[in-house]
Homo-oligomer: A and B are copies of this chain.
Amino acid sequence: MKTVKAFAPATVANVSCGFDILGFAIEGMGDIVQLNEKESPGLEVSSISGDDGKLPLDAAKNTCAVAIQAMVEDLGINPGISIQLEKGLPLGSGMGSSAASAVAALIAANEFLSSPYEKKDLLPFAIAAEKIACGAGHADNVAPSLLGGFVLIRDYHPLDVIKLNVPQDLYCTLLHPHFELKTADSRSVLREAIPLKHATIQSGNVAGLIAGLYEEDYELISRSLRDVIAEPYRAVLIPGFYEVREAVKGAGALGMGISGSGPTLFCLSKGKEKAIQIAKAAEEVYQSIGLGVDVYFSAINTDGGYVLTE
Protein backbone atom coordinates (compact mmCIF):
# COMPACT_ATOMS: atom_id res chain seq x y z
CA MET A 1 0.00 0.00 0.00
CA LYS A 2 1.33 3.38 -1.05
CA THR A 3 2.43 5.72 1.71
CA VAL A 4 4.11 9.14 1.65
CA LYS A 5 5.30 11.42 4.46
CA ALA A 6 6.18 15.13 4.30
CA PHE A 7 7.37 17.82 6.66
CA ALA A 8 6.64 21.58 6.56
CA PRO A 9 8.26 24.17 8.81
CA ALA A 10 7.01 26.75 11.26
CA THR A 11 6.93 30.30 9.96
CA VAL A 12 6.96 33.86 11.18
CA ALA A 13 4.46 36.12 9.42
CA ASN A 14 4.00 39.89 9.65
CA VAL A 15 7.74 40.36 10.42
CA SER A 16 7.43 43.76 12.12
CA CYS A 17 7.26 46.46 9.42
CA GLY A 18 6.31 43.70 6.96
CA PHE A 19 2.77 43.56 8.37
CA ASP A 20 0.62 41.30 6.15
CA ILE A 21 3.25 41.07 3.37
CA LEU A 22 6.36 39.32 4.73
CA GLY A 23 7.06 35.92 6.23
CA PHE A 24 9.99 33.60 6.77
CA ALA A 25 10.53 29.94 7.58
CA ILE A 26 12.22 28.35 10.60
CA GLU A 27 14.53 25.32 10.64
CA GLY A 28 13.64 22.13 12.47
CA MET A 29 10.22 22.87 13.93
CA GLY A 30 7.12 21.91 11.98
CA ASP A 31 4.33 19.47 11.23
CA ILE A 32 4.46 16.05 9.58
CA VAL A 33 1.70 14.61 7.39
CA GLN A 34 1.57 10.98 6.30
CA LEU A 35 -0.74 9.86 3.53
CA ASN A 36 -1.80 6.25 3.09
CA GLU A 37 -3.63 4.83 0.11
CA LYS A 38 -7.14 3.59 0.93
CA GLU A 39 -9.48 1.52 -1.22
CA SER A 40 -12.58 3.70 -1.25
CA PRO A 41 -12.28 7.06 -3.06
CA GLY A 42 -12.28 10.32 -1.07
CA LEU A 43 -10.24 11.84 1.73
CA GLU A 44 -10.39 10.91 5.40
CA VAL A 45 -8.42 12.14 8.38
CA SER A 46 -7.55 8.98 10.27
CA SER A 47 -5.46 10.43 13.09
CA ILE A 48 -4.09 13.62 14.58
CA SER A 49 -1.44 13.63 17.30
CA GLY A 50 0.08 16.45 19.31
CA ASP A 51 -3.03 18.66 19.29
CA ASP A 52 -4.60 17.59 22.63
CA GLY A 53 -7.67 16.59 20.65
CA LYS A 54 -8.43 20.15 19.58
CA LEU A 55 -8.31 19.79 15.78
CA PRO A 56 -11.24 18.46 13.72
CA LEU A 57 -11.09 15.00 12.11
CA ASP A 58 -13.93 16.10 9.81
CA ALA A 59 -12.38 16.32 6.32
CA ALA A 60 -14.50 19.36 5.47
CA LYS A 61 -12.93 21.29 8.35
CA ASN A 62 -9.44 19.82 8.64
CA THR A 63 -6.83 22.06 7.04
CA CYS A 64 -4.85 19.12 5.57
CA ALA A 65 -7.91 17.58 3.97
CA VAL A 66 -9.20 20.93 2.69
CA ALA A 67 -5.85 21.64 1.06
CA ILE A 68 -5.64 18.23 -0.62
CA GLN A 69 -9.31 18.45 -1.64
CA ALA A 70 -8.59 21.74 -3.46
CA MET A 71 -5.72 20.04 -5.27
CA VAL A 72 -7.60 16.91 -6.37
CA GLU A 73 -10.54 19.01 -7.52
CA ASP A 74 -8.14 21.04 -9.65
CA LEU A 75 -6.84 17.77 -11.10
CA GLY A 76 -10.39 16.46 -11.57
CA ILE A 77 -9.68 13.23 -9.70
CA ASN A 78 -10.96 11.60 -6.52
CA PRO A 79 -8.29 9.32 -5.10
CA GLY A 80 -8.66 7.37 -1.85
CA ILE A 81 -6.31 8.93 0.70
CA SER A 82 -6.12 8.54 4.45
CA ILE A 83 -4.40 11.42 6.27
CA GLN A 84 -2.32 11.23 9.46
CA LEU A 85 -1.24 14.54 10.97
CA GLU A 86 1.54 14.80 13.55
CA LYS A 87 1.46 18.30 15.04
CA GLY A 88 4.89 19.50 15.94
CA LEU A 89 3.69 23.08 16.39
CA PRO A 90 1.46 24.46 19.13
CA LEU A 91 -1.96 25.65 17.98
CA GLY A 92 -2.84 29.33 17.86
CA SER A 93 0.70 30.32 18.75
CA GLY A 94 1.46 32.63 15.88
CA MET A 95 4.02 30.22 14.42
CA GLY A 96 2.02 29.29 11.33
CA SER A 97 0.67 26.05 12.77
CA SER A 98 -2.24 25.60 10.34
CA ALA A 99 -0.06 26.69 7.42
CA ALA A 100 2.55 24.02 8.21
CA SER A 101 -0.17 21.33 8.32
CA ALA A 102 -1.63 22.42 4.97
CA VAL A 103 1.77 22.66 3.28
CA ALA A 104 2.98 19.29 4.59
CA ALA A 105 -0.28 17.75 3.35
CA LEU A 106 0.12 19.29 -0.10
CA ILE A 107 3.76 18.28 -0.49
CA ALA A 108 2.87 14.74 0.54
CA ALA A 109 -0.14 14.65 -1.78
CA ASN A 110 1.84 15.96 -4.75
CA GLU A 111 4.41 13.18 -4.21
CA PHE A 112 1.61 10.65 -3.65
CA LEU A 113 0.10 11.60 -7.04
CA SER A 114 3.48 11.45 -8.86
CA SER A 115 4.15 15.22 -8.80
CA PRO A 116 1.56 16.75 -11.12
CA TYR A 117 2.58 20.23 -9.82
CA GLU A 118 5.70 22.30 -9.40
CA LYS A 119 6.16 23.14 -5.74
CA LYS A 120 5.24 26.83 -6.13
CA ASP A 121 1.98 25.88 -7.86
CA LEU A 122 0.75 24.29 -4.63
CA LEU A 123 0.37 27.72 -3.06
CA PRO A 124 -3.25 28.46 -4.09
CA PHE A 125 -4.38 25.19 -2.50
CA ALA A 126 -2.60 26.11 0.74
CA ILE A 127 -4.26 29.54 0.70
CA ALA A 128 -7.65 27.87 0.26
CA ALA A 129 -6.93 25.79 3.38
CA GLU A 130 -5.89 28.89 5.35
CA LYS A 131 -9.26 30.40 4.51
CA ILE A 132 -10.92 27.52 6.36
CA ALA A 133 -8.45 27.46 9.25
CA CYS A 134 -8.10 31.21 9.84
CA GLY A 135 -11.11 32.76 8.14
CA ALA A 136 -8.83 34.65 5.75
CA GLY A 137 -6.79 33.40 2.83
CA HIS A 138 -3.47 34.86 3.91
CA ALA A 139 -0.31 33.64 2.23
CA ASP A 140 2.33 35.04 4.56
CA ASN A 141 2.61 31.76 6.49
CA VAL A 142 1.93 29.20 3.76
CA ALA A 143 4.28 30.79 1.20
CA PRO A 144 7.43 30.64 3.37
CA SER A 145 6.43 27.22 4.77
CA LEU A 146 6.20 25.92 1.20
CA LEU A 147 9.09 27.76 -0.45
CA GLY A 148 11.40 28.50 2.48
CA GLY A 149 13.38 31.66 2.99
CA PHE A 150 12.20 35.20 3.45
CA VAL A 151 9.11 35.69 1.28
CA LEU A 152 7.28 38.78 0.08
CA ILE A 153 3.60 38.54 -0.81
CA ARG A 154 3.45 41.58 -3.08
CA ASP A 155 -0.12 41.02 -4.18
CA TYR A 156 -2.97 38.52 -4.06
CA HIS A 157 -4.84 39.44 -7.27
CA PRO A 158 -3.05 37.83 -9.01
CA LEU A 159 -0.84 36.14 -6.47
CA ASP A 160 2.71 37.53 -6.62
CA VAL A 161 5.17 35.85 -4.29
CA ILE A 162 8.86 36.80 -4.30
CA LYS A 163 11.63 34.91 -2.51
CA LEU A 164 14.06 37.49 -1.15
CA ASN A 165 17.76 37.19 -0.46
CA VAL A 166 18.60 35.94 3.05
CA PRO A 167 21.93 36.87 4.67
CA GLN A 168 23.72 33.69 5.69
CA ASP A 169 24.22 34.58 9.34
CA LEU A 170 20.64 35.65 9.98
CA TYR A 171 19.22 33.74 12.93
CA CYS A 172 15.83 33.76 14.57
CA THR A 173 14.87 33.22 18.19
CA LEU A 174 11.23 32.34 18.87
CA LEU A 175 9.67 33.00 22.26
CA HIS A 176 6.36 31.21 22.79
CA PRO A 177 4.83 32.21 26.12
CA HIS A 178 2.32 29.89 27.77
CA PHE A 179 -0.50 32.25 27.15
CA GLU A 180 -3.35 32.12 24.69
CA LEU A 181 -4.12 35.05 22.42
CA LYS A 182 -6.96 34.53 19.99
CA THR A 183 -6.26 35.74 16.43
CA ALA A 184 -9.66 37.41 16.41
CA ASP A 185 -8.75 39.47 19.49
CA SER A 186 -5.37 40.34 18.05
CA ARG A 187 -7.05 41.37 14.79
CA SER A 188 -9.81 43.35 16.47
CA VAL A 189 -7.44 45.89 18.05
CA LEU A 190 -6.12 47.04 14.66
CA ARG A 191 -7.33 50.35 13.27
CA GLU A 192 -9.19 50.33 9.96
CA ALA A 193 -7.73 53.72 9.08
CA ILE A 194 -4.25 54.95 9.90
CA PRO A 195 -2.49 58.31 9.59
CA LEU A 196 -0.80 58.82 6.21
CA LYS A 197 2.33 59.67 8.18
CA HIS A 198 2.39 56.20 9.75
CA ALA A 199 1.93 54.56 6.37
CA THR A 200 4.96 56.49 5.09
CA ILE A 201 7.06 55.46 8.09
CA GLN A 202 6.05 51.82 7.59
CA SER A 203 6.91 52.03 3.86
CA GLY A 204 10.33 53.47 4.65
CA ASN A 205 11.05 50.68 7.10
CA VAL A 206 9.85 47.88 4.86
CA ALA A 207 11.95 49.32 2.02
CA GLY A 208 14.92 49.47 4.42
CA LEU A 209 14.36 45.88 5.52
CA ILE A 210 14.28 44.58 1.93
CA ALA A 211 17.40 46.60 1.02
CA GLY A 212 19.08 45.32 4.20
CA LEU A 213 18.34 41.69 3.26
CA TYR A 214 19.87 42.19 -0.21
CA GLU A 215 22.81 44.28 0.99
CA GLU A 216 23.31 41.79 3.86
CA ASP A 217 23.53 44.88 6.05
CA TYR A 218 22.55 43.74 9.53
CA GLU A 219 22.57 47.26 10.94
CA LEU A 220 20.11 48.41 8.29
CA ILE A 221 17.92 45.37 8.99
CA SER A 222 18.02 46.33 12.66
CA ARG A 223 17.08 49.97 12.08
CA SER A 224 14.22 48.88 9.81
CA LEU A 225 12.60 46.36 12.17
CA ARG A 226 9.94 48.78 13.44
CA ASP A 227 6.20 48.40 13.09
CA VAL A 228 4.07 51.49 13.72
CA ILE A 229 0.85 49.98 12.37
CA ALA A 230 0.05 46.76 14.26
CA GLU A 231 2.55 46.39 17.08
CA PRO A 232 1.58 49.43 19.16
CA TYR A 233 -1.96 48.05 19.48
CA ARG A 234 -1.07 44.38 19.83
CA ALA A 235 1.85 44.72 22.22
CA VAL A 236 -0.47 45.60 25.10
CA LEU A 237 -2.21 42.22 24.68
CA ILE A 238 1.07 40.35 25.18
CA PRO A 239 2.36 40.11 28.76
CA GLY A 240 5.89 41.34 29.19
CA PHE A 241 6.24 42.61 25.62
CA TYR A 242 8.27 45.72 26.41
CA GLU A 243 10.37 44.12 29.15
CA VAL A 244 11.26 41.23 26.85
CA ARG A 245 12.10 43.63 24.05
CA GLU A 246 14.46 45.59 26.22
CA ALA A 247 16.17 42.39 27.39
CA VAL A 248 16.62 40.88 23.92
CA LYS A 249 17.89 44.16 22.49
CA GLY A 250 20.41 44.21 25.31
CA ALA A 251 21.41 40.67 24.38
CA GLY A 252 22.11 41.72 20.80
CA ALA A 253 18.84 41.22 18.93
CA LEU A 254 18.63 43.18 15.68
CA GLY A 255 14.96 43.60 16.48
CA MET A 256 11.95 41.91 17.97
CA GLY A 257 8.40 41.66 16.73
CA ILE A 258 5.15 39.76 17.10
CA SER A 259 5.11 36.51 15.15
CA GLY A 260 1.91 36.40 13.13
CA SER A 261 -0.79 37.72 15.42
CA GLY A 262 1.06 36.53 18.53
CA PRO A 263 1.55 35.74 21.33
CA THR A 264 4.85 34.27 20.07
CA LEU A 265 7.60 36.85 19.67
CA PHE A 266 10.44 36.56 17.19
CA CYS A 267 13.90 38.11 17.39
CA LEU A 268 16.39 38.34 14.55
CA SER A 269 20.11 38.30 15.17
CA LYS A 270 23.45 37.95 13.45
CA GLY A 271 24.83 34.51 14.21
CA LYS A 272 23.86 31.55 16.37
CA GLU A 273 25.68 32.71 19.50
CA LYS A 274 23.57 35.86 19.70
CA ALA A 275 20.40 33.82 19.12
CA ILE A 276 21.26 31.66 22.13
CA GLN A 277 22.05 34.68 24.34
CA ILE A 278 18.76 36.28 23.30
CA ALA A 279 16.87 33.13 24.26
CA LYS A 280 18.50 33.15 27.70
CA ALA A 281 17.81 36.83 28.29
CA ALA A 282 14.16 36.38 27.35
CA GLU A 283 13.73 33.33 29.57
CA GLU A 284 14.92 35.35 32.56
CA VAL A 285 12.30 38.02 31.92
CA TYR A 286 9.48 35.52 31.53
CA GLN A 287 10.62 33.80 34.73
CA SER A 288 10.60 37.14 36.56
CA ILE A 289 6.99 37.79 35.52
CA GLY A 290 5.96 34.23 36.31
CA LEU A 291 5.05 33.21 32.77
CA GLY A 292 6.21 29.92 31.25
CA VAL A 293 7.85 30.12 27.85
CA ASP A 294 9.13 27.77 25.17
CA VAL A 295 12.20 29.06 23.43
CA TYR A 296 13.59 28.02 20.06
CA PHE A 297 16.33 29.34 17.86
CA SER A 298 17.24 28.53 14.30
CA ALA A 299 18.74 29.78 11.07
CA ILE A 300 16.30 30.85 8.38
CA ASN A 301 15.05 27.74 6.59
CA THR A 302 15.75 28.34 2.92
CA ASP A 303 14.06 25.33 1.33
CA GLY A 304 10.62 25.05 2.89
CA GLY A 305 8.67 21.80 3.21
CA TYR A 306 9.92 18.50 1.79
CA VAL A 307 9.11 14.83 1.36
CA LEU A 308 10.45 12.61 4.14
CA THR A 309 12.02 9.43 2.90
CA GLU A 310 12.07 6.36 5.16
Contact = CB atoms under 8 A, between A and B. Distances in A.
A141 interface: no
A154 B207 contact: yes
Contacts of A209: 207
Nearest to A20: B200
Interface in A181-217: 190-196, 198-211, 214-215
Interface residues of A, number: 41
Contacts of A206: 203, 206-207
Interface stretch (A31-39, A160-168, A257-265): A160-168
Given A154-B204, A204-B153, A211-B164, A194 B196 contact: yes
Contact of A193 (B154, B194, B211): B194
A232 to B, nearest CB: 13
A19 B200 contact: yes
A223 B155 CA distance: 9
A276 interface: no
A167 B106 CA distance: 37
A140 to B, nearest CB: 10
Contacts of A18: 203, 207
Contacts of A155: 201, 204-205, 208, 223
A152 interface: yes
A6 B46 CA distance: 76
A210 to B, nearest CB: 4
A211 B214 contact: yes
A207 to B, nearest CB: 5
A224 interface: yes
A17 B21 CA distance: 15
A208 B160 contact: yes
A196 B191 contact: yes
A193 B190 contact: no
A212 to B, nearest CB: 8
Interface of A: 17-22, 152-155, 160, 162, 164-165, 190-196, 198-211, 214-215, 220, 223-224, 229
5 contacts: A20-B200, A155-B201, A199-B202, A207-B210, A211-B214
Given A152-B211, A196-B229, 4 more contacts: A21-B204, A22-B207, A154-B205, A207-B207
6 nearest A-B pairs in the assembled complex, by CB-CB distance: A199-B199, A214-B214, A154-B208, A210-B210, A21-B204, A193-B193
